[in-house]
Structure 1
Amino acid sequence: MQQDSLTQKLGLALRAARSANGWSQERFADSISMHRAYYSSIERGEKNITVGTLAKVAAGLGVRPHQLLRDAGF
């Protein structure tokens, strides 16, 4: 599987989790002290995020990182 496909699938899983909570990208990014443009690029699958960033996003969503990976199909 190509890296682009992996990051895109994870981005879609993050978007779904955020949307399920009714948060805008801006509101969510602010809540985890991340710039909205950077978070948006993660959701679009343009950034290959670190494990630390995944943990930060997961904590903001109130889930564990492995749940997001599972939702992305990993």
Structure 2
Amino acid sequence: MKLADIDIRPESKKFCVVYAIAVNREIPKKLPFFSKVTLKNAFRTLRALDFEVNLARIEVDAVLACKKKHRKNK
């Protein structure tokens, strides 16, 4: 979203920040430890700035989930 004037702080009550994570496991319970820590700190900071913050899971298609997750060495 483009801001009309970068010197004017946006009204945080008008915005909702959504962390959408593409994964087929339970979130946040099944996230790696440091991902949980980072997510918790982000939530805490944004809520302190008076933003609404939510977490959403985007289910990954089974066909895509089966594909390799690394690059082949050349």
Query: Which bin holds the TM-score, normalised by the shorter protein?
Result: under 0.3
Which one has a larger percent strand, Structure 1 or Structure 2?
Answer: 2
Which one has a larger percent helix, Structure 1 or Structure 2?
Answer: 1
Q: TM-score, normalised by structure 2?
A: 0.28
Q: TM-score, normalised by structure 1?
A: 0.28
